Structures are given as C-alpha cells and as structure tokens.
Structure 1
C-alpha cells in the first residue's frame, strides 16, 4: 500500500502591525466605506479577525515592509480596534496581484441573514458613535439642531414613551425608528447620498429589515443563536421577518426559536407558530389566488407595511383624500377602535409591572 503524501503548508498566517502596511486606494477594485471599517472594528474586538488580508512583501528600501493587496476594510478595522492584523503573503506580478484582489471581491460570500443583522447593528452603533464624536459628544437633539434636521426626533429616547399623543412603540416600530435614525446619521456623518447607501446595502429599507431581525431575534436570544444559525429557517430572511411580526411577545419569539432549533429542517416561522398553537393552520391545500377586492387589499396592506414611518404618515393624508366620502365614518370608527385597543394594552402592561 502506497504511503500517503505529507500535507503541504501553502500559506502561513502572519500577525502584522497595521502601520507597517502601505495602503493606497489608487487602482483598487471597489470603494472604501468608513462605517464598514468601524463595524469590523467592533466585531473584531469581540470575536477576533477570522479572515486574513492579503499583503505583498516590499523591498528593503521601501518605506513600508508590506503593501496591501486585498482586505482594505479588515485592515482599517484592525487599525481602529488597535490590534494586530492577520495577513497572508501574496506573490506575483501586478496582474496576478490584481487578479487576487478581484477574486476576493468576487468570492466574498453574502452574509447570512443573522450575520448581516449583527453587522448592520454594529454599523448603526458605529455611525452613531462617530456622529457624536464629530459633534464633540453632544446629544442627539443638539446634533439634529446643528445639522438643520430638528424636525427629526429621536424616537428611541425614553421621553418618546411619555408623549401624551403617542401610544407605546412596538418592538418592530422601535427597530424601524432606529433604522430611519441610522440612515440620517450615515448621511450626516459620512456625507452619503441615498444612492451610495443603497449601493452599499445600507439604505433605510435594508436597515429596517436587518435591525428588526437583530433587535427582536438576535439581541434578546443570543444564548440560542449558535444553535439556531444551523437551522433552515435561520438562512431564510422571509422566515425571520415573519417571526419578527410576533416581536411584541418576546416569550413567544423565544419559544418559536427553540422549536426551530429542535426541528432544523423547518423552513418557515409559520411551521413553528402553528406547532406551538400561536397561529391557526392554513391547511394542507394551497390557498386559491386572491382576486378582485381581496387582491387589491392584500397589495395595499403589503405596500403600507413596506413604507417607513415617515412614509406612512404622508400616506395617511393621501388615503384620507382617496377614500369615498360615504366610507369615511367607517374608517374613523376602525381607527378609533384600534387606538382604544392599543391604549388598553398599554394600560394593562403598566398594571402588571
């Protein structure tokens, strides 16, 4: 029997001082986003740097011993975190090194929904901290006044719950408000345009989705995440967002996560919710496609849910003007009934504290 060939070490990971690596954006593939680097710093400080950067060794007369080939954001993240950067030496001519850089960008896997939720939350926190630093640690209200956005109120401050004209925010509404706040902060702190934010995957809609998942699923249930991440539902953003729809009952969300961990093949939140008697079964037969008024009502409801809080406020006036006069009283009664129900829920929560 032939002996097996010994394993060959191809690349060795180096630990380098980030300051010894020359970094130039000239001719680089892609763009550099400061908030990504700050988010990496937060994650690296907590979990360490798992993915090494690529560097080229320079000659003896060079100002820097190394030149960065690929990993601009990871290098900057380690610099901000004040830690050594893990690197692999890349060799070859200019064309080969550029191919390595292109390959890294092409092969960079899309973050799973739970990972992206954690990353986006770190981005939002880093952006908020950066804005405070740029404004000498002033409060959110003072910053808003300075940048001419005094009409944007901090919906997450404790005073929000004390306003007499607003019922208590739900968990989903808090996440949405935080997303709008983070979007404004990114624009103010980094001078981003809306198009840049969208291109980076950090537009307000993306922030909302990820922050809902983080605040409702990840943050309150961190002890379950290592087990949950391997389930089919954890890789399904739609399933996670459906679970977020039950975010006003944290205990139910946790029970659903535990059920999905125990049943890793389940792909949707509905399977857990039905099994736990939190929602009725929809039956085994496929539902008939909606038609007529039902189809339009479903579309209206879906589009309203996609709007930001500011967009819903603007839509209220449009809807009020579009409703037939004979239906306005019915709309008013429905609104009054919902407001009364929310106030009753808020009052009962206060009594149980």
Structure 2
C-alpha cells in the first residue's frame, strides 16, 4: 500500500512501486547515464533516498494510468535496481510547467557536462519562444521546428537597456556555423533576450553570460535537436564536456555529424571532434589540433625542465655529447645561439 507524507514544499510525498511510474510520461530533456545507476543504487542502499523524485498524475485521456516522471530518472532506475519503492513528490501543472520544473532542477546542477547543459538550455529557450508567441496572440503554424515568427527575431520591441547589452543589431551572436539553422538560433537567442534580457535576470535564471548561452544554443540546434538519439550516445563520452569540439561538430554537414556522433559513441575515450573526422576520412588533418599539440608539448617541456634542473654539474658535463645528439638537426643552430647568448650574458659581454 502507498504511504504518504507531507513535503517541506507542501506537495504530497508518496512511496510507490517503481512500476507505477512511467519514466517517459513527459518529454525527457536530459540524457540517461546507465553507468551512473549502479553507483547511485549503492548510495541509496547505504543512506536511503534523500531527495524525492517529482511525479505528475497521468495525462488526461491517457490509457496509461501510471504516474508521469517529471524529474529523477536516475533515482527511479536506482530504486528499480534495488527492488524498493521510490520516494516521490506529486507536482501539478500544465505540460509546459512540468517541463519548466524539469529544466529548472537540472540547470542548477554544477556537475552537468556541456552537452547536458546545452540540452536543457536549448529546450528552455524553445519554451520561451512558444510562450512569447502565445502571449502575443500569434499562431505558430509550423511549430517550434518551423520558420520562427518575425516577432521573435525582431528586437524592436525590446527595451533599450536590454538591446544595449547585445552585440549590434540582430547579430545577436557570432556568425552561425554552416550546419546550424541561422533563423532558429536567432529566434532562440532573441526569445531569451526578450524574456529576461542579458543582465542579472539571465544570470539568475540560467547562470550563464551571453556568449556562453549562445554557444550552448548552437550546440543544441546543431547536434541535440536534429540528432537526439546520436547525441545521447555520446553523453557518457569525454567529448561531452568539450565545448569547442561540440561546436566544431555542429558546423559540419548533416551526414558528417551523424557519422561522427556514432563513431564517438563507440570511442568514448576520444576528446576531440578531429579524431572522429579523421578516422572517418572527413578531415584531412593529422588528427591532432594545433592547440592540443601545443598543450601536449608544453606539458612535456615542463616535465623535462623539472627533470633537467635536478641534474648535477658533473652529470651535465658528461651528458653534453648525448644532449647534442638528441637535439633535432633543424633546431641545432637555434639551441647553439641561445647557449652562446647566455654565456655572453654571464660573462658580461
């Protein structure tokens, strides 16, 4: 039998068999990490479930009479794995309000990857666009996936104080990447600008400054929105937290994006887009970006300098011929000139 309690927020809290909750009762915005469930199950088995999941009543006229999950997919799965009832708080609201609860709970998480944050911020921006359309009394004939209404890409109705904080005109962003729909991205960004501005309100709502917001919306529009299944496949990979790599992928052609996302899902250790693009023959690069190569060489030089500093003068003298042989021929003159310059400085010449 279900047991009830009263939550601090005033909503009814139930203990329910996990089978009575539909994990896909409403749209799932975030990604599911199966690898995290076992760890979470261990914590719940040891300490109990400290935070209830959020559930809503079945949708009107739905044949499935199970509760709909709003937030807490991993906690629900962990309790199912343990074979125990789950602690669930009942919330109410329209579908948009329930989705807003889902995004609000997740956007505040500090451990989210770039990919996850892009999923929540992008979906939240779409909801703001829909809200603006409804408030303006305009019909959205093609839905949020269609051509955005002019009212959301035209900033003429936005207060001057907000517009002043944006780059000039509707260049409300850097030039969009080739693979990202320009109008949709502008509409998402303008919707957030119109609703919140880019001052304290946006910081409070999303915890993001303008340029970071735009980067996340670009990732959402270029990768997550059109390729949800493939994007979820890399949610557990290293590249999921590499914003530059995700942006690079977002700018590729649709076939290239799909193939790269599939390759990355099979190679979770990869951390750059270039690795996938080279492996697939899409890029002719050597597979290592200049920035990555420079970073690697910098670390090698730091370690080498630290090791060499520990050598005694007698070791340096005996090792000098070997050192000269180790230096690449093309760099010999540069090293010689640097040594001569140091000797001259020490001798006061």
Q: TM class by shorter-chain length?
A: 0.3 to 0.5
Q: Name the TM-score, length of structure 2 as normaliser.
A: 0.44
